[in-house]
Structure 1
Amino acid sequence: MTFKIAIIGAGSVGFTRKLFTDILSVPEFQDVEFALTDISEHNLSLIEKLLTRIKETNGLKVRISATTERRKALEGARYILSCVRVGGLEAYADDIRIPLSYGIDQCVGDTICAGGIMYGQRNIPVILDFCRDINAVAETGAKFLNYANPMAMNTWAAIEYGKVDTIGLCHGVQHGGEQIAEILGAGPGELDFICSGINHQTWYVDIRLRGRKIGKDELVAAFEAHPVFSQQEKVRIDVLKRFGFYSTESNGHLSEYLPWYRKRPEEITKWIDMSDWIHGETGGYLRYTTENRNWFETEFPAVLKEAEKPFSQYKRSNEHASHILEALETGRVYRGHFNVKNSGIITNLPSDAIIESPGFVDRFGLNMASGITLPEGCAATCISSINVQRMSVHAAISGDVDLLKLAMLHDPLVGAIASPEEIWQMVDEMLVAQAAWLPQYADAIPAARERLKTPKVKTREWSGSARRAVRSIEELKAEKLAHAS
């Protein structure tokens, strides 16, 4: 088979390498073309060298091109994958730093909460640029597979305003399923589940072990008995006890989507675990991504050497993209959980929302399982986030500062911590700090800058309740050696 796959934001070196090796694990895909594009020539050169090394080492026929001209990369593409981070680590640092000065302690800040809302404001204008190019120069009927956060907002904008056939992809459902399989002692193929909701707040509403339905009490007991998860997943276990259903997202992520676990600084450490960033560390993902960037910059020769291993040693991951392409092109059916417009798929969530729910892919496309009704508590939590997402998308499209501030006001964690006056000033501060990536607010930013000259509320320098410093390359090397031994 010969067709073209474009990867936007291909300078995300590790993730692009995973997508590349996954797709080439499909026997029929040995002669496809990968068109890599990124705004960073440096990052693009790294990933092109890496993938070319894999190709040459293994004698693969795959074609690889790289360009900073996005439209050129999209010409004739049948599939477009996006893993962009608009504003890079510079803007991301502000997503964490500025809210902290108002008492808002985030672990990740890329889905909702203060950081996620602003991330959406930066991303959505760029997503719409992608869609214009896809509609203009890609293959007719091209599919846009979005991996970039904020997942729901980006996918919402691409479908509703970009008018492109879009599927949002995340691995949270798979990872949560792996946890459940481990605590229940399930072997390969022995665990089945239905997981439904919205991205990062998806709920395992039906779990079967070898065909036997697993109830709340058995699941709680299994998690509490696990020596690692009982310490790392305290928020998720507490939510499971109160709601009756386990949530897909990590302890750190989930804690910032709800108004109950991170609002009192003195209590945050009660709910999180510092063994890894994903369990609730303040600004944990910012630290992790910063360390990864530094690692690739300094250790790239070693990474390149690693690419010389035989292709047979690469293990296909559970990321959805390669499986979707395989199903569409070969007809081999794939079942997964996908982010799409609701339109009645989940009966008690709004029809315009982007939901994450089970579906099947084959030659006829994506076929979602419809008619799912969430438990009331799970639906209520999802609806709170959907309301924030909707306002955030509409604000990003229109450049409406008042609507943006209302979205921030209605965010569960932001609203639990900050007063309306604090939120209004915080949004002004974030708009000014990130003006370079917010073209839709160009007319509003001068007024925000003027208001900040006479601030109405005091802020403070605060690193958060559970912050770790970025580790040096030497520290990272020592840790890798310790794990290896």
Structure 2
Amino acid sequence: MSFKIAIIGAGSVGFTKKLFTDILCVPEFRDVEFALTDLSEHNLGMIKTILDKIVEFNKLPTKVTATTDRRIALEGARYVISCVRVGGLEAYADDIRIPLKYGIDQCVGDTICAGGILYGQRNIPVILDFCKDIRELAEPGVKFLNYANPMAMNTWAAIEYGKVDTVGLCHGVQHGAEQIAEVLGAKSHSELDYVCSGINHQTWFIDLRLNGRKIGKDELIAAFEAHPVFSRQEKLRIDVLKRFGVYSTESNGHLSEYLPWYRKRPDEITRWIDMSDWIHGETGGYLRHSTETRNWFETEFPQFLDSAARPIDPSKRSNEHASHILEALETNRTYRGHFNVKNNGVITNLPQDAIIESPGFVDRFGINMASDITLPEACAATCISSINVQRMSVHAAISGDIDLLKLAVLHDPLVGAVSTPEEVWQMVDEMVVAQANWLPQYAHAIPAAKERLSKSRIQTREWAGAARRNVRSIEELRAEKAALKQAV
């Protein structure tokens, strides 16, 4: 088979390499063309060098091109994959730093909450530019696979306003299932069957079966509480499991910032999180992790390049959805996964216009969602709170309405639990001014926001957060890796 796959934001080097090797695990895909595009010529050069080495070592006919001209990359593409981070680490730092001044402590800040909403404001205009180019240049019937966060907002904008056939993809469901299989003592992940449904980063395991036997709430709680690691790292998730009756896909740190109960008081935050790794609730944890990863890659690039000279091993194909979707569409080998699509009746007790994440099957006829799923009421209520924020955020990003943006932030569950309306209004002004370079739709509102900030009397504070760690140096990272290797 010969067709073209365009990857936008291909400078996300590690993730692009994973997608690339996954896709080439499919024997029929040896002749495809990968067209890489990114704003950073430096990052493009690094990833193309790595992928070229993989192709050369494995003696493949695969073609890899790289360009900063997105339209060239999209021309004739059958599939377009997006993994962009608009504003990079610079804007992301403001997503964490500015809300902290108002008492809002986020672990990740990429889905909702103050950081996730502003992230969406930066991404959505760019997503619509992608869609315009896709409609004009790509192959008829092109499918757009969005991996970029905020997943629901980006996918919502691409479907509703970009008018492109879009599916949002995430790996949270797979990771949650791996945990459940481990605590239940499954010998392999294939022993666990489940229905997981909700919205991205708030999906719920509403039906669990181990070797055909239904797993109830009490058995699952006991299994998690008995686990020597997860009982410590997932305290918040276990508490939600006890109260809601079902387990959430999302990590302890992620879940903590979508709810109004666990991060609203600084002295309570440390009770619910674990500092053994960023994902369990550390303040600004993913920002630190992303910064260290980028620094490490830049410094250790020769090591990464050497590791590319290895055979592609289909047994090590990852559980990222993209390669499996492409395989199903092109070869008719059916694939079951969890996909982000417009609801349209899939989940009965969530709004029809929402972007939901739920089970579906893929074959040559497309993505076919399992329908008529009803969430437990508490899960639906939590999802609806986020959906209402997402809807307002998308509409604000499209219209450039700063008042609607402020209302979206005000209605965010964690923001509303921490901040007053006056603080929210000032915080949004401050974030929009700080990120003006990436927010063209708000250009008309920036002068007035600056004027309001100059006259504001609301007190803020410089606060690192309740559980912050410093970014580690390359030397510290090397020492830690050496110690772990020695311990093994």
**Structure 2-normalised TM-score?**
0.99
2:172 is matched with which residue?
172
Structure 1 residues 313 and 481: alpha-carbon distance in aligned structure 2, compared to 1, 3 A threshold: farther
CA distance in 1, matches of 2:23, 2:166: 19
* Partner of residue 58, structure 2: 58
Asked whether 1:73 is paired with 2:73, we answer yes
Structure 1: distance between partners of 2:308 and 2:483: 23
1:403-458 C-alpha deviation (Å, 9 max, x unpaired):
00000000000000000000000000000000000000000011001100011310
Answer whether contact 1:21 1:314 (CA < 8 A) is retained: no
CA contact (8 A) 1:421 1:456 kept: no
Instruction: Name the aligned partner's letter for residue 318 of structure 1.
Output: N
Residues 7, 36 of structure 2: 8 Å contact kept? yes
**Partner residue, 2:394:** 393
Give the percent of matched residue pairs that are identical in Structure 1 and Structure 2.
Answer: 80
Q: What residue number does 2:413 align with?
A: 412
Q: Deviations over 1:4-48 (max 9, x none)?
A: 000000000000000000000001101100000000000000000
Q: CA deviation at 1:480?
A: 1.4
Structure 2 residue 264 is the aligned partner of structure 1 residue 260: no
CA distance in 2, matches of 1:303, 1:470: 21
Deviation at 1:247, TM superposition (A): 0.3
Once residues 178 and 14 of structure 2 are traced to their aligned partners in structure 1, the CA distance between those partners, rounded to angstroms, is 22
Q: Which residue of 2 aligns with 1:32?
A: 32
1:431 maps onto 2:432 in alignment: yes
Cα deviation, residue 314, structure 1: 7.1
Instruction: Give yes or no for the alignment of 1:117 onto 2:117.
Output: yes
Q: Which residue of 2 aligns with 1:351?
A: 352
* CA–CA distance in structure 2, aligned partners of residues 329 and 479 of structure 1: 44
Shift of 1:186: 1.1
Q: Given the alignment of the two structures, is residue 83 of structure 1 paired with residue 83 of structure 2, yes or no?
A: yes
* Matched position secondary structure for 1:424: helix
> In structure 1, the residue corresponding to 2:104 is in which secondary structure?
coil
Q: State the secondary structure of the residue aligned to 1:443.
A: helix
Gaps of 5+ in 2: none
Q: Distance in 2 between matches of 1:362 and 1:127?
A: 27
Residue by residue over 1:245-301, the C-alpha shift from the partner in whole angstroms, topping out at 9 and shown as x without a partner, is: 000000000000000000000110000000000000000000000001101111101
The code of the aligned residue for 2:335 comes to Y
What corresponds to 1:338 in structure 2?
339
Aligned residue identity for 1:286: L
Deviations 1:283-331 (A, max 9, x none): 0000000001101111101110111122238710000000000000000
Confirm or deny: 8 A CA contact 2:25 2:314 kept in the other structure.
no
| Matches for 1:43-442 after TM superposition, within 5 Å | 43-188=43-188, 189-312=190-313, 315-442=316-443
> In structure 2, how many angstroms separate the alpha carbons of the residues matched to 1:177 and 1:129?
35
User: 1:452 aligns to what SS in structure 2?
Assistant: helix
The one-letter amino acid paired with 2:31 is D
* Structure 2 residue matching 1:370: 3-state secondary structure: coil
Cα distance in 2 for residues equivalent to 1:6 and 1:272: 39
CA-based RMSD of the aligned residues comes to 0.7
Q: Is the 8 A contact 2:342 2:356 kept in 1?
A: yes
Question: Which consecutive segments of 4 or more residues in structure 1 shift more than 6 A?
Answer: none
Aligned equivalent of 2:485: 484
Q: Distance in 2 between matches of 1:472 and 1:314?
A: 34
Question: Which amino acid in structure 1 is aligned with residue 206 of structure 2?
Answer: V
Amino acid corresponding to residue 3 of structure 1 in structure 2: F
Q: Distance in 1 between matches of 2:198 and 2:313?
A: 37
> How far off is 1:57 after superposition?
1.2
CA distance in 2, matches of 1:61, 1:342: 40
Partner Cα separation in structure 1 for residue 480 and residue 63 of structure 2: 37
- Residue 475 of structure 1 is matched in structure 2 by 476
The TM-score, its normalising length taken from structure 1, stands at: 0.99
Gaps of at least 5 residues in structure 1 are none
SS class of match (2:460): coil
**Letter of the aligned partner of 1:91 in structure 2?**
A
Query: Which digits, 9 at most, give the CA deviation of each residue in 1:138-174, with x for residues without a partner?
Result: 0001000000000000000000000000000000000
Q: Which residue of structure 1 aligns with residue 449 of structure 2?
A: 448
Distance 1:270 1:375 in 2: 27
| DSSP 3-state at the match of 1:262 | coil
Provide, for residues 166-185 of structure 1, a one-character-per-residue CA deviation record: whole Å limited to 9, x for no partner: 00000000000000000001
